[in-house]
Chain A
């Protein structure tokens, strides 16, 4: 097991080195982040300004302070969670390099996880942390609500990360069947931005839509951990969130295993 871990550390390292080419991308993301955060700020300010209670009131149960914390946090969590494994696998299949991944005595899923994790370390240090710092500097990000719930936040975040990985991995495996998975990857990205609460909190949607979205797994990827941080979900309900995340994680993991087995049968290698 020690030797195996060694290998995965090396995979993380290679992912890291590969990403150095994306340094410019990271810098652009960080430069773009104030624009994103201020867009939220102006949007929400006008929302409050025109609401009946004015700036000191609440909209869908959020005050301005909570809403800006929410906006900063969901942007950061989405950045943290994106492993881009879907694109990675899609690219490997499309270029035929997938053949190289399959001649190595490594479990493909675990390999992909550590590759994605290498990317996460990179994103965390280059994009996520700067985003959080900017959030604090601009006065958008406020400290979490205290209490037991806060201790559940890191647990929820890890579960959310794992669900995000498996979703990305599954979208990646789709490329074994369709050869080109970018369309599906973009589609999933769009669904996440709406159904996981990246654009606006799910509380803004009509009740019926919200009920549907909360029955889906996407809210467990970003919205729910953020609600724990804000202390808007507490006590037994908070434990329920962790439970739901754990259930979705198992479902996604089993789906990934099943799809992986089917994909190996379907594999075609492009070119020579």
Chain B
């Protein structure tokens, strides 16, 4: 089906050559090389339906980009199968790439020395876009992304945020049923990020475009992704909706306290001993406590700490996706509180 992605037991193993140290090692390397095998992606299975917006996240080196590169047909899998819109990406690369859009946030697909509009025109020829479609899409992209003033500038004169918006437009000129966005918000300011998120949502809403997005900014995920896939060391750690993440990797609500005095160790130990409660950080007069809302109500906990400590200020905080995800990356599930 157009826009559907089927991935089964996808695996990519890289063989990399281990360099020995020093001059002697370098000479030895010339004669006999040692190789290490890295399972960058290890038996991943995924089913994505047309029109889904999926956040594909993981720590650096988790295997995100390698997966994207297999899905886009750049890398050949070591084993397993990939099918996007009914096509096998690496088998028929040229026909396949006509039917996808790709943004690699860290590299531009525009040409350094030519004006943005010329690059767009050239791409529209490469992708065989009808003139009227091109004009209409360009008009829409210019409006939503605010790139009207950039069109006649050469790409080398664009700032990162400007370039990224143009790259995003370039990847969608041929209205592909699937787009892969590999870190499209990397290094961008809040305003540009927000513009890009709006744009992705609009494209998805108008054309039912399937969107696969990798990012390190959890705000991207919260704003636009219905579904999140977390990958770690080449394995899928979690695949589900945003609210499921909150349920499954629950780390409780947070109570931040600012104290008049540094609390004694005994008082901290006493607090930690209470079931369903955990002292997350204790930094002189700042104290953060996580608690399980099923066991303690916020009011009773506040009541308790007000009696024990000299509290100057306090705030209640819902757990942030970024914190949850950080805990997942670091291999803990936030502790049982």
Q: Which residues of A contact B (CB under 8 A)?
A: 3, 6-7, 10, 14, 17-18, 20-21, 96-97, 99-100, 102-107, 264-265, 267-269, 271-272
Interface segment, B66-74, B228-236, B310-318? B66-74
Contacts of B69 in A (CB 8 A): 99, 269
B23 within 8 A of A: no
12 contacts between A and B (CB under 8 A): A7-B122, A7-B125, A10-B125, A20-B113, A104-B109, A105-B93, A105-B94, A105-B127, A264-B93, A269-B75, A271-B106, A272-B106
Contacts of B90 in A (CB 8 A): 264
Chain A proximity of B232: nearest CB distance (Å) = 17
Interface size of B by CB at 8 A reads 32
Chain A proximity of B219: nearest CB distance (Å) = 20
A103 close to B94 (CB less than 8 A): no
B65 close to A272 (CB less than 8 A): yes
Interface segment, B95-103, B203-211, B252-260? B95-103
Contacts of A3 in B (CB 8 A): 125, 128
Q: Which of B76, B107, B128, B182 contacts A264 (CB 8 A)?
A: B76
Binary A-proximity of B217-233 (CB < 8 A = 1, otherwise 0)? 00000000000000000
Contacts of A10 in B (CB 8 A): 122, 125
Chain A proximity of B156: nearest CB distance (Å) = 10
Give the complex CA separation of A107 and B262 in angstroms: 68
Contacts of B183 in A (CB 8 A): 272
Closest to B17 in A: A179
Contacts of B46 in A (CB 8 A): none
Give the complex CA separation of A96 and B107 in angstroms: 8
Give the complex CA separation of A10 and B124 in angstroms: 12
Chain A proximity of B29: nearest CB distance (Å) = 13
Give the complex CA separation of A21 and B113 in angstroms: 10
Contacts of B128 in A (CB 8 A): 3
B74 close to A104 (CB less than 8 A): no
Q: Which of B93, B114, B127, B182 contacts A102 (CB 8 A)?
A: B93
B106 close to A104 (CB less than 8 A): no
Give the complex CA separation of A213 and B45 in angstroms: 55
Closest to B93 in A: A102
* Number of A-B residue pairs with CB-CB distance less than 8 Å in the complex they form: 74
B14 within 8 A of A: yes
Closest to A11 in B: B122
Give the complex CA separation of A272 and B94 in angstroms: 23
B104 within 8 A of A: yes
Binary A-proximity of B160-191 (CB < 8 A = 1, otherwise 0)? 00000000000000000000001100000000
- Supposing A3-B128, A100-B104 touch, asked if A105 and B98 sit within 8 A by C-beta, the answer is yes
Contacts of A268 in B (CB 8 A): 14, 75
Closest to A264 in B: B76
**Nearest 9 A/B pairs, CB to CB:** A102-B74, A105-B97, A105-B98, A17-B113, A103-B102, A272-B106, A10-B122, A105-B94, A100-B109
A99 close to B125 (CB less than 8 A): no
B75 close to A18 (CB less than 8 A): no
Chain A proximity of B93: nearest CB distance (Å) = 7
Chain B proximity of A204: nearest CB distance (Å) = 35
Give the complex CA separation of A159 and B127 in angstroms: 32
Give the complex CA separation of A193 and B97 in angstroms: 40
Give the complex CA separation of A20 and B111 in angstroms: 14
Give the complex CA separation of A65 and B95 in angstroms: 56
Closest to A18 in B: B113
Chain A proximity of B171: nearest CB distance (Å) = 9
Interface centre among A21, A102, A105, A106 (most CB of B within 10 A): A105
Give residues 109-156 of B contacting A (CB, 8 Å). Answer: 109, 111-114, 122, 125-128
Contacts of A99 in B (CB 8 A): 69, 74, 104, 107
Chain A proximity of B120: nearest CB distance (Å) = 12
Chain A proximity of B99: nearest CB distance (Å) = 9
Give the complex CA separation of A99 and B103 in angstroms: 11
A97 close to B107 (CB less than 8 A): yes
